[in-house]
A and B are shown apart, each in its own frame.
Chain A
Amino acid sequence: MGQAMTEAELRKQERMIARKYADRFPWEVPVWGLSNLLIWLSLWPLVFLDILPLWIAFPIACVNVMACFLPAHEAVHGMIARPGPKLRWLNELVGHSSLFPMAMPYRIQKLTHFEHHKHVNHPEHDPDITTQSRGPWHAIWQSLVHRQRGKGGVLRGYGYILEKIGRSDVLVDGALYQLTFLAALFALAWNGYAIEAALLWWAPRHIDIAYIQFFFSWAPHHPAVKRGRYDNAKFFKSRVGNIASMGMQYHLIHHLHPFIPLTDTPRAFRELRPILEARGCRFEGDLR
Chain B
Amino acid sequence: MPILFGFLFFGPLFAQIMDGLGRQQPLGLSTLALGLIVGGAWGIFAFFRGSWIWARP
Residues of A in contact with B (beta carbons under 8 Å apart): 130, 141, 144-146, 148-152, 156, 182, 185-186, 189-190, 192, 194-195, 197-198, 202
Question: Roughly how many angstroms separate A145 CA and B53 CA in the complex, as a whole number?
Answer: 8
Question: Roughly how many angstroms separate A151 CA and B47 CA in the complex, as a whole number?
Answer: 11
**B:33-57 near A, CB below 8 Å:** 46, 50-53, 55-57
Interface majority SS (helix, strand, loop, mixed), chain A: helix
Name the distance in Å between A129's Cβ and chain B's nearest Cβ.
12
Question: Roughly how many angstroms separate A148 CA and B15 CA in the complex, as a whole number?
Answer: 24
**Cβ contact within 8 Å between A186 and B8:** yes
Question: Roughly how many angstroms separate A192 CA and B20 CA in the complex, as a whole number?
Answer: 11
**Cβ contact within 8 Å between B9 and A189:** yes
* Nearest 7 pairs of A and B residues by beta carbon: A148-B51, A194-B13, A189-B12, A150-B57, A186-B8, A150-B56, A194-B12
Number of A-B contacts (CB under 8 A): 63
Name the distance in Å between A148's Cβ and chain B's nearest Cβ.
4
Chain B count of residues within 8 A CB distance of the other chain: 21
Chain B residues with CB below 8 A from A202, complex form: 9
Contacts A150-B50, A197-B9, A198-B13 given; 13 further ones with Cβ under 8 A? A144-B55, A145-B55, A145-B57, A148-B57, A151-B57, A156-B57, A182-B5, A189-B11, A189-B12, A194-B9, A194-B15, A195-B13, A195-B20
B1 contacts A by Cβ under 8 Å: yes
Residue in B2, B17, B52, B57 whose Cβ sees the most chain A Cβ within 10 Å: B57
Name the distance in Å between B4's Cβ and chain A's nearest Cβ.
8
